[in-house]
Amino acid sequence: LSAGLTNVTVSGGGTYNSSTGVVTLPAISSLASGTNTSRTISFTMPASTVSGISNVSSATADSNTSNNPSFITTTSTPAANLRTTLTGPSSALNGSIASYTLTIFNDGPSPAITVQPTLQLSAGLTNVTVSGGGTYNSSTGVVTLPAISSLASGTNTSRTISFTMPASTVSGSSNVSSATADPNTSNNPSFITTTSTPAADLRTTLTGPSAGSALAGSTVSYTLTIFNDGPSPAITVRPTLQLSTGLTNVTVSGGGTYTSSTGVVTLPAISSLASGTNTSKTITFTMPASTVSGSSNVSSDTADPNTSNSASALTTGLQKPLPVELVGFEAAAEKSDALLRWTTASELHNDRFEVERSFDGRTFERVGTVRGQGTSARPTDYRFTDPGAARLGAALVYYRLRQFDIDGATSMSPVRVINFSRPDDADVVLYPNPALGQTSLDLRQLPAGTYQVRLLDLQGRTVSTYGLEGARMHSLRVEHLPQGHYVVRVVGGGVSLALPLIRN
């Protein structure tokens, strides 16, 4: 036989020499006329052609030796032994990323040419990715994989398929074929089944006043919200909440309780929280004279692969009120009375406001007192009426506020002016008023003649002086003046008028 054969067996006690190819057979002691006997030789077919030559001789004369030899030649045909394995998890959380690995092996003696793997998955999967350029058909579940041009004997190659695990079971089946003969196709297919495990994604938020935003003694509310962002309902959801100890007047919505000695808020379990929904609990308490902190968390009987967002925390500090912050102060005539209105945004140790009045803008006297709020973080509106101010004989009446702290410290408001001019004086006007760059002084209703016009600030100091003709319109430049309140006095020809002017 050809040399180098392997796994050679010879019936009848013969032996094979791999180096020479010679098969040594035991002699047959006698072979009767008209009979025959056989020997069987088996071997593993190599990749090359195998040839065999046989012959025979004996101690008995053989009159025809031409038919003694025999010849055979066997050509080798390439053969592969392809198989697949499809591996992955037996179970996966709903909504998680699951991965399958398809491995194609060639256990045969010959290279496999044009190897075509196939893969069938459940239909309707989402977020499917296939390595090596494969594609997934959601309608049919078929994964189309490119052919492998050649897979050498004893080697393998793999493809990875990942997808989002649905709420139902996922199954897969793989197979393989090639242009090379495969005498054993029983190991070509592989199968896998992955069951879906419910999965939630629970998180909490704890909201309320932040640091430095609550007053001692005020009512503070915290809102604990529990969310399920996962794909599956969460069963037996258990929220937890820890607050500072020693809080008073604590109320918890939904039947929860607060233990003052430990700060633990015990909340009833939620039987089920559907995917994409949330529920809230409200906790109110009286703000103590110290910082309050809270921390929340949540768990359930449903698996939660992402617990990093389950906890939330909040700290509420005491608000520090500002000194008395006056955000508005107005004075207006109301018939013959002077009506003053002002508003504070916040107050710190505010004892009172004293209302002061002046007829010349320089000398003020106290005409009333309005009690303050002490300390408050809320806006407060005030009003004061100076009855009969118009009957005191002055066309212009000046008002200001003197604010007193509890410790006696004071601060002053801006001055406000009320014009109680007689109706027949209204023929002399300033416009526009308030003014930006200039204003017009209309003296057209006054008799001809020269009038002394003085522009005064609220302290009575002369800012500008003009000599202007009556029966005419005049322009007054005011862009050089600081913003504020001024008085324009017109005197002459038996006329004495005072007109308020606002420079914006």
**Which parts of 345-494 are beta strand (E)?**
347-358, 365-376, 380-386, 396-405, 410-412, 416-419, 429-431, 438-442, 450-457, 462-469, 473-477, 484-492
pTM of the model: 0.55
Integer angstrom CA distances of residue 88 from 106, 194, 293, 452? 21, 8, 46, 102
- 347-358 and 473-477 beta bridge pairing: unpaired
Comparison of pLDDT for 204 and 459, the residue scoring more: 204
**Mean pLDDT score of the chain:** 93
Q: pLDDT value at position 292? A: 96
Q: pLDDT value at position 320? A: 66
Comparison of pLDDT for 433 and 351, the residue scoring more: 351
Q: pLDDT value at position 389? A: 87
Q: pLDDT value at position 321? A: 60
Q: pLDDT value at position 423? A: 44
First-to-last alpha carbon distance for the chain, in angstroms, is: 120
Q: What is the mean pLDDT of residues 404-422?
A: 87
By the 8 A CB rule, do 122 and 95 touch? no
Residue-wise pLDDT for 371-411, tens only, equals: 999 988 788 999 999 998 877 767 789 999 999 999 899 99
Most confident option among 161-165, 386-390, 410-414: 161-165
DSSP state of 319: P
Q: pLDDT value at position 424? A: 47
Structural domains in the chain? 6-74 (no CATH), 82-197 (2.60.40.10), 202-316 (2.60.40.1510), 326-419 (2.60.40.10), 423-503 (2.60.40.3080)
> Mean pLDDT lowest for which of 68-72, 214-218, 264-268, 347-351?
214-218
Residue 5 has pLDDT above 90, yes or no: yes
Q: How confident is the model at residue 421 (pLDDT cuts 50, 70, 90)?
A: low
DSSP state of 60: S
- 91-93 and 190-197 beta bridge pairing: parallel
Q: How confident is the model at residue 43 (pLDDT cuts 50, 70, 90)?
A: very high
Cα–Cα distance for residue pair 353/326, rounded to 1 Å: 11
Q: What percent of the chain has pLDDT over 70?
A: 98
Residue-wise pLDDT for 310-325, tens only, equals: 999 999 988 766 678 8
Q: pLDDT value at position 414? A: 92
Q: What is the mean pLDDT of residues 81-91?
A: 98
Q: What percent of the chain has pLDDT over 90?
A: 77
Q: pLDDT value at position 426? A: 45
Comparison of pLDDT for 12 and 460, the residue scoring more: 12
